[in-house]
Amino acid sequence: MSNRIVQAVTVASLLIVATIVSVFLLHRLEPGSPQAYAAAVFPLLFFAYAFYWMFSNARRCDEMQQRLQFEALALAFPLSLLVIVGVKLLQKAGLTFRYDLADLFIDMVLLYFAGLYIAWRRYR
């Protein structure tokens, strides 16, 4: 297994564990307490490190891999905005459904991978 894959799995694992620990603690701590605030921001450190790792890793990619990543992001970003605006406008119009930031995060990740797949298909 390549070093990049091991690093990616390690970074993702740390992020997942930090998020699970944070959610576990938030369900057991008193809302509004300093401990709850600390538990809420705890995984942000791992998110920041994951973003740093992704950007530094992207700089080491060849031009084709960078182009694939750019095209995936170029598709995911405007589609995410379209989803946000559409959901908010439908909610203001009176349509009631539960959609929060966690749903948006999942949608953004799925749109990114869809864009990556489309770009990969185009250049293979």
User: What are the tens digits of pLDDT across the range 70-111?
Assistant: 898 899 999 999 988 998 899 899 988 787 777 777 888 888
Averaged pLDDT for residues 4-22? 86
Q: How many C-alpha atoms does 97 have within 13 Å on its Cβ side?
A: 9
Question: Does residue 27 sit in helix, strand or coil?
Answer: coil
Per-residue confidence (pLDDT) for residue 104, from 0 to 100: 79
**pTM (global) more than 0.85:** no
Per-residue confidence (pLDDT) for residue 30, from 0 to 100: 94
User: What are the tens digits of pLDDT across the range 50-74?
Assistant: 888 888 888 888 898 889 888 988 9
| 33 DSSP 8-state letter | S
Q: State percent of the chain over pLDDT 90.
A: 33
CA atoms of 116 and 15, how far apart (whole Å)? 22
Average pLDDT, the chain: 87
pLDDT at position 1 over 70: no
Q: pLDDT: is 14 or 54 the higher one?
A: 14
